[in-house]
Amino acid sequence: MYMMDWLQAMPKAELHLHLDGGLRVETALDLAEKSGWRDFAHPLSYRQMRQKMVVKGTLSSQRELLDYFQIPGLLLQTEDALCRATYELLEDKAADGVRYCEIRWAPLLHTRRGLSVRRVVEAVLAGRQKAARLLGVHSRLIVVGMRGMAPRDNLDMLEEVRAYRRRGIAAADLAGVEEDHPDPLDQLAYFHRARELGLGVTFHCGETAQSIRYLEKAVERIRPRRVAHGAVAAADAALCALLRKRRVTLDLCPTSNIQAGLYPDYPSFPLERLYRSGVPVSISTDDPVLSDVTLTGEYSAVLSAGGLKPDQLWSCNLHALRAGFMGYYEKQALLREFQRWRSQNPPQNPVE
């Protein structure tokens, strides 16, 4: 079996995946047409829509990368759009061999046209349930508080979603422009409340070179199970030791960080250094449409960079499943499925 075939066929787990960053360009066009192009100066062709939604080349910063979320933010403001986008994202993941994934999104960003937080959540849950029924893909949802919002707003959002914890809402995250609000501890009450509600805790940190200054204290005080990104930790031996000690998984997204200008290329991305130092890591796409990458493509890029070997990549993939915010019995069943596949499918050829 050739390496790309092996990667494609591999049952995969993906933990760092944004709903709005996975909106299909075709779906964006359809939603815009159905709205009468209400939020646009004029209708766009497929090529024009793609140019506005898909990153090409290297950008200057995380802030510039986040500008590509503008169109999904405009269009994902109805229950039908949110349900459809969720289902289609899971459909795309299933087609790429992803058996378990976690989709994260900020409910408050989808209330601009009158939806309540609960209606936003129920729409996404409906898309997830449809995918489970028709595609058999396993998934969980992560609600995201925003760095730039008042702590009270993020806390209120948590209270609205607490009723859905046993219906697929598994964890709480914090995201947004790090340059403007670099310290996750500014929202410490949000993480405490999430833990009180029985939600897993993670947060975004490490999408700027400066964020390493905040990461160690945030890991100490917030006590997350996982950190979204965090590759910059490779430059700090003490921080790596802390991550190992606390068994905090870094949900890394090489392509996204390279596009944001944090690293120049895949060989420079410190995945191998973190892996060999014993820091728990998983690999994800972050925003598959925005970054124009599948998880198979992400894995292939990592192998082609010459860092990890196929068995080490498989180890990262298996760890992603173990680190997922899901129940014990579901996790054990999937682990058996993954391990059974691996025993029957050893990699035999170099990357081609």
At residue 283, φ and ψ (nearest 5 deg) are -125, 130
Number of structural domains (the chain) is 1
Q: Please tell me whether residue 347 adopts helix, strand or coil conformation.
A: coil
The CA dihedral of 6, 137, 24, 103, to the nearest 10 degrees, is -110
Whether residue 25 contacts residue 290, with contact meaning beta carbons closer than 8 Å, is answered with: no
Question: Residues 165-201, buried b or exposed e (16+ Cβ, 10 A)?
Answer: eeebbbbbbbbbbbeeebbbeebeebbebbeeeebbb
Please list the pLDDT of the chain residue by residue as tens digits (352 residues). 589 999 999 999 999 999 999 999 999 999 999 999 999 999 999 999 999 999 998 998 999 999 999 999 999 999 999 999 999 999 999 999 999 999 999 999 999 999 999 999 999 999 999 999 999 999 999 999 999 999 999 999 999 999 999 999 999 999 999 999 999 999 999 999 999 999 999 999 999 988 999 999 999 999 999 999 999 999 999 999 999 999 999 999 999 999 999 999 999 999 999 999 999 999 999 999 999 999 999 999 999 998 799 999 999 999 999 999 999 999 999 999 999 999 999 986 544 3
At residue 193, φ and ψ (nearest 5 deg) are -70, -40
What residues contact residue 121 under an 8 Å CB cut-off, 6+ apart?
A: 107, 143, 160, 161, 164, 169
Query: Which domain range does residue 308 map to?
Result: 3-178+187-333
pLDDT at 352: 37
pLDDT at 177: 95
Token reading at 133: 């029924």
Element (H, E) at 135: helix 117-135
Residues facing residue 200 across a β-bridge: 171
DSSP assignment string, 47-88 = HHHHHHHS--S--S-HHHHHGGGHHHHHH--SHHHHHHHHHH
77 conformational bin, left if phi > 0, alpha if psi -120 to 50, beta if neither: alpha
pLDDT at 307: 79
Q: Is 349 inside any structural domain?
A: no
Q: Is 346 inside any structural domain?
A: no
Identity of residue 141: L
Residue tagged 């900020």 (tokens)? 106
Distance CA 79, CA 317 (A): 33
Token reading at 229: 């990104």
- Which CA distances in Å does 78 have to 81, 117, 143, 157? 5, 12, 17, 18
pLDDT at 350: 47
At residue 139, φ and ψ (nearest 5 deg) are -155, 160
Distance CA 135, CA 156 (A): 33
Distance CA 98, CA 95 (A): 7
Distance CA 226, CA 211 (A): 16
Q: Is 24 inside any structural domain?
A: yes
- pTM for the structure as a whole: 0.97
Q: What is the CATH number of the domain that holds 163?
A: 3.20.20.140
